[in-house]
Amino acid sequence: MRVTHTERRHAFCDASPRNLLIAEKLAEIFPEALFILTLRHYSGTIQSLLRTGMVTQVPGQRPSSEPGVTAAGAAELWSRYYTAARALPPDRTIVFGYDSFCANPDGVLARFKIRLGRADFPTAELDDRAFSASHASVPGKARRTVGRDSDGRLAPMSSYDRDDWTAELEATVRPLVAQVDERLFGRYPDDYASPPGYAAVL
């Protein structure tokens, strides 16, 4: 909060995914907070976790004897976090569809800003250059983002690595994500989406 005032801003953002696990408590502590729920298909999320090595076990469970990150562990984590998202206060939560954004960045971003504006969020303070940064890169390997092209437009990109998502990988993780995946499609039909071309690998 102090930084917000020091920088003469109206709002600050804490983007830790673990906030979902304490969403109910955060809503109680910060009664005026606006929550942004980013929806991302499990395929890209699992690939990102595997690529960066960010997960070795599911929080709250006993450590696995298996070293490193597994697709099953990443799938369980995805399911746990999106299950916890149900605790977010619906009247103070705005949804952002990541896969839809990657396919149609300008359109989805414009719609997102309209939603923020309706919630009295100071959209003029937003910096679209944030989309030019990837938090899923590994050292020495820059990843493509939807950063603006030479014409100043946001450039569409794939939200998952199609060549690396195999039918075998899908068969491994699908039982662990199916229930939550179907619930997200049902609850957020305008925002939650599979990556374009995803069905072709199944």
> How do residues 90-145 score in pLDDT, each as one tens digit?
999 999 999 999 999 999 999 999 999 999 988 888 888 787 776 666 566 666 77
- Length of the chain (residues): 202
Q: What rounded mean pLDDT belongs to the chain?
A: 84
**Separation CA 34–CA 144 (nearest Å):** 29
Q: How distant, in Å, are the alpha carbons of 59, 143, 159, 194 from that of 156? A: 33, 14, 9, 15
The SS3 call for residue 95 is strand
Q: Amino acid identity, residue 90? A: P
Please tell me the predicted confidence (pLDDT) of residue 148.
63
Q: Are 114 and 96 in contact (CB under 8 A)?
A: no
Q: What is the pLDDT of residue 103?
A: 93
The predicted-structure confidence for 65-83, as pLDDT tens digits, reads as follows 344 579 999 999 999 999 9
pLDDT of residue 174: 96
Least confident of 50-54, 121-125, 178-182, 193-197: 50-54
Q: How far apart are the first and last CA of the chain?
A: 47
Q: What is the pTM of this model?
A: 0.83
- What are the residue boundaries of the structural domains of the chain, listed by start? 2-138+154-201
Q: Could you tell me what percent of the chain has a pLDDT over 90?
A: 54
